[in-house]
């Protein structure tokens, strides 16, 4: 059986992508959750992940003797192995575009990711308002998302970016979590897409598990002193 190594569901945006992809596609896998204690060389996290992956990071997909440790590589492997699930758009041009926006997410949107780390459990609307006021790079990242998503939803008619659920929606699911947690301002069609993503069964299952963790990690919480303070 497939094994997917992930970190804390409340915080680990990279882990969320392949987990949601597999779950939403109905592909059976074993989840191996490795708690974030720290990322020092002698941490329990590193001692656990070091023998599994050459990077010592999550997520990691293990299929027999094959180890795949990059989210895009995991998505490509899953899409090729379970081709019947049609996890990339069928049309070549749409497929190329879907790959392009996933690659852009993989290496871009650094302001949004650094100033608004994923935190599903928290309500950080007040913090989000300050970030929106003070961080033009965050506003620029959100404007890029609005333009990208709006064009795709209009072109393909929704409900997802390329019509049906695809790798692209799984890839942007953690972004939807950030936009919700920090209550960043969005046009109505984009806010509706965020809500549709949050209501996908695979995403809902992740959110439920994230809320159940009750695991406050101060190094993942730049805006809160404890889980009861927002």
DSSP track, 70-127: SHHHHHHHHHHHTGGG--S-SSHHHHHHHHHHHHHHHH--HHHHHHS---TT---HHH
pLDDT digits (tens, 9 = 90+) for 183-220: 999 999 999 999 999 999 999 999 999 999 988 776 66
In this prediction, the residues of the chain whose per-residue pLDDT falls under 70 are 218-220, 225-230
Verify that 173 and 204 share a domain, yes or no: yes
Same domain, 102 and 189: yes
Quick one: pLDDT at residue 219?
A: 67
**Distance from first CA to last CA of the chain, Å, rounded?**
40
Assign residue 67 the CATH number of its domain. 3.40.30.10
Q: What is the DSSP letter of 229?
A: -
Q: Examine residue 8 and state whether it is found in any structural domain, yes or no.
A: yes
Same domain, 107 and 35: no
Angle at 192 between CA 211 and CA 228, to 5 degrees: 25
> Does residue 219 sit within a domain?
no
In a domain, 27, yes or no: yes
> Does 108 lie in the same domain as 78?
no
* Same structural domain, 108 and 197: yes
**153-188 residue pLDDT tens:** 999 999 999 999 999 999 999 999 999 999 999 999
Q: Domain containing 152: what range?
A: 92-209
106 and 159 part of one domain: yes
Number of domains in the chain: 2
CATH number of the domain enclosing 105: 1.20.1050.10
CA atoms within 13 Å, Cβ hemisphere of 213: 24
Q: 105 with 45, same domain?
A: no
Tell me, yes or no, whether 49 and 102 share the same domain.
no
Q: Do 112 and 132 share a domain, yes or no?
A: yes
Q: Which of 61, 85, 109 is the last residue of a domain?
A: 85
85, 109, 141 - which closes a domain: 85
pLDDT given for residue 223 in this prediction? 80
pLDDT (0 to 100) of residue 220:
67
> HSE-up of 184 (CA within 13 Å, CB side)?
25
**Domain shared by 81 and 97, yes or no:** no
Q: How far is CA 74 from CA 14, 49, 95, 110, in A?
A: 11, 17, 16, 22
Q: How much is the pLDDT for 227?
A: 66
Given this model, what pLDDT does residue 229 score?
41
User: 47, 68, 85: which is the final residue of a domain?
Assistant: 85
pLDDT of residue 230: 42
Does residue 168 form part of some domain? yes
217: three-class secondary structure by DSSP? coil
Residue 173 near residue 18 (C-beta atoms within 8 A): no
């Amino acid at each position: 059986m497939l094994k997917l190594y992930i970190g804390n569901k409340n915080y680990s945006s990279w882990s969320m992508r392949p987990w949601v992809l597999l779950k939403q596609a109905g592909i059976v896998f074993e989840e191996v959750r490795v708690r974030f204690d720290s990322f020092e060389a002698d941490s329990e996290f590193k001692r656990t992940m070091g023998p599994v992956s050459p990077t010592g990071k999550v997520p990691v997909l293990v299929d027999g003797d094959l180890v795949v440790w990059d989210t895009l590589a995991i998505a490509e492997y899953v899409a090729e192995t379970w081709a019947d699930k049609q996890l990339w758009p069928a049309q070549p041009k749409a497929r190329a575009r879907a790959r392009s926006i996933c690659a852009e997410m993989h290496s871009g949107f650094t302001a949004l990711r650094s100033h608004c780390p994923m935190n599903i459990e928290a309500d950080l609307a007040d913090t989000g308002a300050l970030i929106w006021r003070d961080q033009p790079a965050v506003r620029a990242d959100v404007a890029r998302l609005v333009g990208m998503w709006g064009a795709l939803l209009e072109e393909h008619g929704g409900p997802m970016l390329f019509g049906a659920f695809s790798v692209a929606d799984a890839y942007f699911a953690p972004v939807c979590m950030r936009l919700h947690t920090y209550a960043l301002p969005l046009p109505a069609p984009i806010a509706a897409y965020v809500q549709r993503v949050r209501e996908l069964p695979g995403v809902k299952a992740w959110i439920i598990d994230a809320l159940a963790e009750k695991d406050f990690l101060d190094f993942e919480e730049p805006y809160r002193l404890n889980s009861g303070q927002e």
